[in-house]
Chains A and B, each alone.
Chain A
């Protein structure tokens, strides 16, 4: 009796590591195989279930997930999965789902182990290929568990910086400067059983000071108690890092007082967490400032994609990644400006270098062009000073291009004389856009409504931001025009098979997730934010202001934030995959490479965007037509 599985053996001979086995060994393996069929969409391996076989995809394709549900890998004919579970503890570590109708060959555990022991090449394959993965997975779970096992109190580095509610804001600002913090715990002192005990009554941030003094013009003698926030979240010293992170993201509070019983013992800031979460990006920023020349800097910047991929693999969310990339971009600009000032001498008048668009919003990803502008002190005289700033702008712009930030196709750059203005000129320019909104002009310049000071006299930029927020809020015609431009880019309906379904019935081969997803979402959010007088720039921050102002129906703000987060993450992950595969990252995705899960969620996100655009139309344009 001979029961040679010719087909199976032939199949195995085409794929590593089976191709290196002798024919006899391969035939014997083929005879031990078990076969199973899975319909598209069915689960093949469930996380933590017992696993007894090594799996080989015979036909069809499967998706391998991380335990947090993120796609880890996609395999087709000849792809092997399940080895991690077999090598570790006999439990499924990476759940697997059939992407198409799939036939799998299963090699029983004992055969797999027997062949690993018997045939070195066979074992080496899993060594080389997978123990690397194994190791990274283990170290990864250590990293992950860092956030889940490290308590907040262990990373507090200094005792709390406090102030009394009866100090003036001027005293508070001076104290912040001296202590080099952006955040004060406002406390009264009680005496309990003979001891002084701190009693937290409020928090004061730089933003509070800026808002009250700069924006509202309150006197410097105003008491802290009048401007501090009494509505804030606190952490317990025994909370874990991930809880702190979630709380910051959830309540958009960049600083959290840490309490031990009733007493504040310190404060945790977003940067503490970012430092903890992605060491790599922080070290990278430090390295930027260590580069001596533009050439060194451009060489150094080539690591940026790798830093990005690492952050994605560390499970950072889009807010963290966007912020980290913006911080990096900003640092490169700052360093270029320092280098420029070394070459051309100190600036003849105070100025501020402005970031516009995604960098200003802290939503920068890997592929981004440089949108920037210059803001001068009102003492600027073109005939005397222009030559200096032409050189400066060109130096920075060329340097950025060399570092991978492409020139802005719309020429919104400091090298363009049109975008070099004094404070008063910028004020007039914004006032013009706001008072006489021309939809065509707004199309190109809505980017200016995301604006942030990067280098130089930052306060000039902050004052300009406050002016814009104040001025835009009270101008319904402007909001209507901006709302109309926010409707220019629409989302697709969803996906059908491997095509993008358009509202007019057309099928597209690919989709630009920025143009059709995140950008229109940011546009919608910007209109609402300007309508409520928010001076925040980040879309998530803006949404929080919008939600607080109560102009959206219940739950809609949260929906928008989820949609933005989801589309951003798909975009981010696909860019990271491009980098990992050695391809130039972009924003365009072929639906073929989206999992069913991603397609379903994206479709939902697109629907949220579509509804939000309808609402925008009704909310802003309808109002003006009544006038």
Chain B
């Protein structure tokens, strides 16, 4: 799906990548982000500071489409803290298409007076610093942010994420019978956020609001870990 996947460091290489980036970066905001470093790969899940993040965009291709809103909710395995959540609406450099408006409900007049992403980076990047970002489907948030930065400040930004969709796929894969695995059969269960949530007994939310989706993703990760992982598992086994 993504051309950028190959550029993403391997799970254990994150500390080296951050160290290298902090030397390479010119932009002070981005340098500060990399200076803060990455969460130690050996950190057990129950000690990791997570940040659930969701973007609403004008479309699905990071090269053609832009970000219109950012929702972020910090949490740990035991608590999701709404108090420290943030939500930004930004003005995309690409045209806002009617089709995407019907999905996320952010209209032309909403974005008209909104700042460019560049102007909110000094608020967004410190929230991301030294957190493990949690998303549902990694090719949106990480790729869109990276391309937005390349466009605006000509610098690259990757960070480790936990992708609750990928995680669910792996969980379902493990649960399938050996025969089914040998035959290469894939699970037929849906990997859509609301469908997975329902399987974990989580409530139905009205999705496509960046903040609600971030919250929904945070809750999902809590549920997935409660059901399938020891909370002492090192974070490096789950991030990518």
Residues in A lying within 8 Å of B, measured CB to CB: 1-8, 11, 30-39, 42, 58-60, 100-103, 106
B209 in contact with A101 (CB, 8 Å): no
Assembly CA distance A34 to B200 (angstroms): 19
| Alpha-carbon distance between A377 and B127 when the two chains are bound, in angstroms | 94
23 A/B residue pairs, CB under 8 Å, sorted by A: A1-B88, A3-B211, A4-B211, A5-B82, A5-B215, A6-B206, A6-B211, A7-B205, A7-B206, A32-B82, A33-B82, A34-B79, A35-B79, A35-B218, A35-B219, A37-B202, A39-B226, A58-B203, A100-B201, A101-B223, A101-B226, A103-B202, A106-B79
Question: Which of A5, A42, A102, A106 sits near B201, CB closer than 8 Å?
Answer: A102
Which residues of chain B have C-beta atoms less than 8 A from A30's C-beta?
82
Residues A37 and B88 in contact, CB atoms below 8 Å apart: no
Give the distance in Å from the alpha carbon of A334 to the alpha carbon of B81 in the complex: 66
**With A4-B87, A36-B80 in contact, do A101 and B201 touch (Cβ < 8 Å)?**
yes
Residues of B contacting A60 with CB < 8 Å? 201
**Complex: chain A residue closest to B207, CB-CB:** A7
B64-80 residues at the A interface, CB under 8 angstroms: 75, 78-80
Contact residues in A for B82 (Cβ distance below 8 Å)? 3, 5, 8, 30-35
Chain B minimum-CB-distance residue to A101? B201
Chain B residues within CB distance 8 Å of chain A: 75, 78-83, 85-88, 123, 200-203, 205-206, 209, 211-212, 215, 218-219, 222-223, 226-227
From A31, which residue of chain B is reached at the shortest CB distance? Answer: B82
What is the bound-complex CA distance between A619 and B200, given in angstroms? 51
- Given A37-B223, A101-B223, A31:B203 Cβ within 8 A: no
Residues of B within 8 A of A42 (CB): 226
Report Cα–Cα, A35/B88, bound state, in Å. 22
Is there an interface contact between B215 and A34, defined as CB atoms closer than 8 Å?
no
Partner of B212, one of A7, A38, A100: A7
Chain B residue numbers with a CB within 8 Å of A8 are 82
* Nearest Cβ on chain A to B67's Cβ, whole angstroms: 16
A6, B87: Cα distance in complex, Å: 12
- Taking a contact as CB atoms under 8 Å apart, the answer to whether B81 and A34 are in contact is yes
Q: Known pairs A31-B85, A103-B203; list 10 more (Cβ under 8 Å).
A: A6-B206, A31-B83, A33-B82, A34-B83, A35-B75, A35-B219, A36-B78, A39-B227, A59-B203, A101-B226
In the complex, residue of chain B having the shortest beta-carbon distance to the beta carbon of A106:
B79
With a CB–CB cut-off of 8 A, which chain B residues contact A58?
Answer: 203
Taken together as a complex, chains A and B put the C-alpha atoms of A100 and B202 apart, in Å, by 11
A32 touches B87 (CB 8 A): no
| A40: nearest chain-B partner, CB-CB | B201
Question: With a CB–CB cut-off of 8 A, which chain B residues contact A2?
Answer: 87
Whole-angstrom distance between the Cβ of A544 and the nearest chain B Cβ: 48
B25 shortest CB reach to chain A, Å? 25
B205 x A101 contact (CB < 8 A): no
Closest 9 CB pairs of A and B: A101-B201, A35-B80, A37-B222, A59-B203, A3-B85, A39-B226, A34-B79, A3-B87, A33-B82
Q: A59-B201, A60-B201 are in contact. Are A6 and B209 (CB under 8 A)?
A: yes
Q: Are A1 and B201 in contact (CB under 8 A)?
A: no
Contacts of A103 in B (CB 8 A): 201-203, 219
Question: Considering the chains assembled together, what is the distance between the CA atoms of A2 and B211 in angstroms?
Answer: 10
When C-beta atoms are compared, the residue in chain A nearest to B79 turns out to be: A34
Query: Inside 8 A of A34's CB, which chain B residues have their CB?
Result: 79-83
Q: In whole Å, how far is B53's beta carbon from the nearest beta carbon of chain A?
A: 13
A1 touches B87 (CB 8 A): yes
Which one of A1, A32, A35, A38 lies within 8 Å of B215 (CB-CB)? A35
In whole Å, how far is A40's beta carbon from the nearest beta carbon of chain B? 8
CB closest residue in chain B, given A111: B83
CA distance A233 to B227 in the complex (A): 53
Which residues does chain B contribute within 8 Å of A39, judged by CB atoms? 223, 226-227
Report chain B residues within 8 Å CB of A102. Answer: 201
Smallest CB-CB separation from A37: which chain B residue?
B222
Contacts of A3 in B (CB 8 A): 82, 85-87, 211
B107 to chain A, nearest CB (A): 16
| Contact present for B86 and A1 (CB under 8 Å) | yes
A5 touches B211 (CB 8 A): yes
Hey, which chain B residues are within 8 Å of A37, CB to CB?
A: 202, 219, 222-223, 226
A33 to B85, CA, bound (A): 11
Contacts of B200 in A (CB 8 A): 101
Q: Is the CB of B79 within 8 A of A36?
A: yes
In chain B, what residue has the closest Cβ to A35? B80
Residues in B with CB closer than 8 Å to A4 are 87, 211
Q: How far is the CA of A580 from the CA of B201 in the complex (A)?
A: 30
Residues of A within 8 A of B227 (CB): 39, 101
- CB contacts (< 8 Å) of B202 on chain A: these are 37, 59, 101, 103
Whether the Cβ atoms of B85 and A5 lie closer than 8 Å is yes
Closest to A30 in B: B82
- Asked whether, in the complex, the Cβ of A32 is within 8 Å of the Cβ of B83, the reply is yes
Chain A residues lying within 8 Å of B209, measured Cβ to Cβ, are 6
Q: How far is the CB of A6 from chain B (nearest CB, A)?
A: 6
Query: Which residues of B are found within 8 Å of A1, using beta-carbon distances?
Result: 86-88, 123
Instruction: Tell me the smallest distance from the CB of A79 to a CB of chain B, in Å.
Output: 14
CA distance A59 to B211 in the complex (A): 19
Task: Find chain B residues with CB under 8 A from A33 CB.
Answer: 82-83
A35 to B205, CA, bound (A): 14
User: CA–CA, A239 to B28, complex, Å?
Assistant: 76
Specify which chain B residues have a CB less than 8 angstroms from the CB of A5 in the assembled complex.
Answer: 82, 85, 211-212, 215
Q: A1-B87, A38-B226, A101-B200 are in contact. Are A6 and B78 (CB under 8 A)?
A: no
Chain A residues lying within 8 Å of B85, measured Cβ to Cβ, are 3, 5, 31
A36 to B215, CA, bound (A): 11
Nearest-CB distance from B41 to chain A (Å)?
25
CA distance A568 to B208 in the complex (A): 53
List, in ascending order, chain B residues with CB within 8 A of A32's CB: 82-83
Q: For residue B89, which residue of chain A has the nearest CB?
A: A2
Q: Which residues of A contact B87 (CB under 8 A)?
A: 1-4
CA distance A35 to B223 in the complex (A): 12
Residue of A nearest to B72 (CB): A3
CB of A36 within 8 A of CB of B222, answer: yes
Q: Which residues of B contact A38 (CB under 8 A)?
A: 226
Q: Would A6 and B212 count as touching, CB distance under 8 A?
A: yes
Question: CB-nearest residue of chain A relative to B199?
Answer: A101
Residues of B within 8 A of A59 (CB): 201-203
CB distance from A208 to the nearest CB of B (A): 62
Q: How far is the CB of A213 from chain B (nearest CB, A)?
A: 68
Contacts of A101 in B (CB 8 A): 200-202, 223, 226-227
CA distance A103 to B219 in the complex (A): 8
- B78, B80, B218 — most chain A CB neighbours (10 Å): B80
Q: Which residue of A lies closest to B120 (CB)?
A: A1
In the assembled complex, the CB of B159 is this many whole angstroms from the nearest CB of chain A, namely 22
**A2 (CB) vs chain B CBs: closest residue:** B87
- CB contacts (< 8 Å) of B222 on chain A: these are 35-37
Q: Among A35, A60, A101, which residue has the most Cβ atoms of chain B within 10 A? A: A35
Name the residue of chain A whose CB is nearest to the CB of B204. Answer: A59
> B216's closest neighbor in chain A, by CB?
A7
Docked CA distance A102–B201 (Å) = 7
Bound Cα distance from A7 to B223, whole angstroms: 18
The residue of chain A having its C-beta at the shortest distance from the C-beta of B227 within the complex is A39
In the assembled complex, the CB of A22 is this many whole angstroms from the nearest CB of chain B, namely 19
CA distance A42 to B218 in the complex (A): 19
Interface centre among A7, A58, A59 (most CB of B within 10 A): A7
Q: Closest chain A residue to B212 by CB distance?
A: A7
Give the residue name and chain of the B residue nearest to A100 (CB): B201
Q: Kindly provide the distance from the CB of A5 to the nearest chain B CB, expressed in whole angstroms.
A: 5
In the assembled complex, the CB of A171 is this many whole angstroms from the nearest CB of chain B, namely 74
Complex Cα–Cα for A102 and B218 (A): 14
B143, chain A: closest CB distance, angstroms: 24
- Bound complex: CA of A106 vs CA of B75, how far in Å? 13
- Alpha-carbon distance between A11 and B223 when the two chains are bound, in angstroms: 20
Q: Considering the chains assembled together, what is the distance between the CA atoms of A4 and B201 in angstroms?
A: 24
